[in-house]
Copies of this chain bind each other. A is one copy, B any other.
Amino acid sequence: METMEQIRIVEALLFASDKPLSSIALADCLPEGANIDQLLTDLREQYANRGVNLVEVAGKWMFQTAPDLAFLLRKEVEQERRLSRAAVETLAIISYHQPVTRAEVEEVRGVSLSKGILDVLMEAEWVRPIGRRRTPGRPMTYGTSDHFLVHFGLNSIKDLPGLAELKAAGFLDNVNTSRLNLLDDPKPTEEQPELPVSSGE
């Protein structure tokens, strides 16, 4: 099979889907030995200047409209109520600090987390429980989902904007959760991804 034919197949599969597809899933539909990575790179190249672009998100591939056309297509999202400032901040803390416990989020923000906020973020499928901390009380830890990556157009958590700077400044070091008791030394806690919540897609 010619390369062009293989590209057409990858193109058709990706175009037909409204969700990102992994290169493995795509390769399943190609003849054995097809160089899927090369095909994807070529296809991305071919669409680079079009109204639709091929992007890599959450380690998978999908077509989406070109970012510079957002002004034409932008929609005030109806169902998703606008996130409160508290929810946005909580989401940011969870995404940059993950895995992170509720108490740690509260520590960073300096205020207790009102009940609905985590619910909203989990309902939007941006945040999910990841496991439990191996500390007294075995608190649940939270992190972001693949859906979060797809929504914000990130290939992985490592691509979060400003991550390196935050890290370099020491802002992502272990959070001392003995809040308002700044006398204690922060003790590094070890994450134990027990009780992995269904690793799902």
Contact = CB atoms under 8 A, between A and B. Distances in A.
Contacts of A16: 52, 65, 72-73
Contact of A51 (B9, B49, B52, B65): B9
Interface in A27-52: 29, 49-52
A15 B4 CA distance: 21
Contact of A13 (B11, B13, B73): B73
User: Which of A4, A13, A16 has most chain B Cβ within 10 Å?
Assistant: A16
Contacts of A52: 11-12, 15-16
Contacts of A149: none
7 contacts: A7-B51, A8-B49, A12-B72, A13-B51, A15-B52, A15-B63, A16-B65
